[in-house]
Amino acid sequence: MSADPVRDPWLPAMRLALAEAARAPQSGDVPVGAVVLGPDGTVLGRGRNEREAGGDPTAHAEVLALRAAARALGGWRLGGCTLVVTLEPCTMCAGALVLARVDRVVYGARDAKAGAAGSLWDVVRDRRLNHRPEVVPGVLADACGDLLTAFFRGRPDTDFGAAPGMG
């Protein structure tokens, strides 16, 4: 995507998500970061992967950012909000953002192994569901992918595999 903020209004938010992602490896977590923007563009929630840090399989960046946004708004319905995340959401996170009624998901890198916003699955646009958010893929995709590649390149062979994933 373009690096021009006039043509791509999601760049500032994706840079915030990248900053969150960059902090995740300090605890051994995969570098994925997310922010939730309110209808006016205010940051309502932030998150980064914390599965290793907290021993919690649900502590994905998206889920943590959605929880923070719900606390900020005082309720679980996040209509009018946008989730910006460095890696395409997995099925769990895609389900969570659909159930939270998020209007839009903006992501950076595709996840061919676990992506559920158009790559492997398309949970967020499944016509059988009662809510289908808009999907904006590829924002700062190279920067998001580079962060993941560098992380996995430095690890011994694990159950993560050699490619990005585990959003």
- Average pLDDT of the chain, as a whole number: 91
Please name the residues in contact with 26: beta carbons below 8 A apart, sequence gap of 6 or more: none
Confidence of residue 154 (pLDDT cuts 50, 70, 90): confident
> What pLDDT is attached to residue 34?
98
Question: DSSP letters along 91-138, please?
Answer: HHHHHHHHHTT-SEEEEEE--TTT-TBTTS-BGGG-TTSS---EEE--
How far is it, in rounded angstroms, from Cα 44 to Cα 70? 8
Three-state DSSP class for residue 37: strand
Catalytic residue, candidates 50, 62, 88, 134: 62
* pLDDT score of 62: 98
50 is catalytic: no
State the sign of the Cα–Cα–Cα–Cα dihedral 121, 126, 131, 137.
Answer: positive
Residue 159, by phi and psi: left (phi above 0), alpha (psi -120 to 50) or beta? alpha
